[in-house]
Copies of this chain bind each other. A is one copy, B any other.
Amino acid sequence: MKSETYRNTKQRSRILEILCHTDSHPTASWLYDQMKPEFPSLSLGTVYRNLGILEEQGLLKKLRSGSTFDRYDANTYPHAHFCCTECGSIYDMRDVEIPDMVQTVNKQTPHNVLEINLSYMGICEECLKKK
């Protein structure tokens, strides 16, 4: 049973503060290393639990969300995907254009962009039926 009330803890507010002051999209263990000096008895479990709570509160987002499995696709032609956040299934979006922005974007960034990764997240047809 999930609780609806959250308490303020030093650990949790520090995590959010660090996340708000960096744009490096940290991992849990990076946050752990950052906080360890200030909270010597901090544990990784606490970091993970708080990240989960902050995400529930909508204060942060977990990147590359979706399932935790590797998935494989024999269609190597660039195409967009639809990822269902309920059941985890992934569909091809055959009819949706994937804008060829590689050249455009390369002019706007110092990095070397090689590939676009475009996916649409939402609820799939099957899961919609079940509601």
Q: How many of chain A's residues touch chain B, expressed as a range?
A: 35 or more
Which residues of B are found within 8 Å of A84, using beta-carbon distances? Answer: 111
Cα of A89 to Cα of B63 in the assembled complex, Å: 12
Copies in the complex: 2
Interface residues of A in 77-95 (CB under 8 A from B): 81-85, 89-93, 95
Q: Return the chain B residue nearest A51 by Cβ.
A: B72
Q: State A47–B103 Cα separation when bound (angstroms).
A: 37
Given that A60-B72, A72-B61 are known contacts, is A121 also in contact with B128, CB under 8 Å in the complex? no
Q: Judge if A125 is at the interface, Cβ distance under 8 Å.
A: yes
The reply to whether A73 and B111 form a contact with Cβ atoms under 8 Å apart is no
Name A residues whose Cβ lies closer than 8 Å to a Cβ of B.
16, 19-20, 23-29, 31, 51, 55, 58-67, 69-76, 81-85, 89-93, 95-96, 99, 102, 105, 108-125, 128
Listed by A's residue number, 21 A-B pairs whose Cβ atoms lie within 8 Å are A16-B74, A23-B91, A25-B73, A27-B69, A60-B72, A60-B76, A63-B71, A63-B90, A64-B64, A64-B117, A65-B117, A82-B109, A83-B117, A84-B111, A91-B111, A95-B109, A111-B122, A112-B122, A115-B120, A116-B119, A118-B118
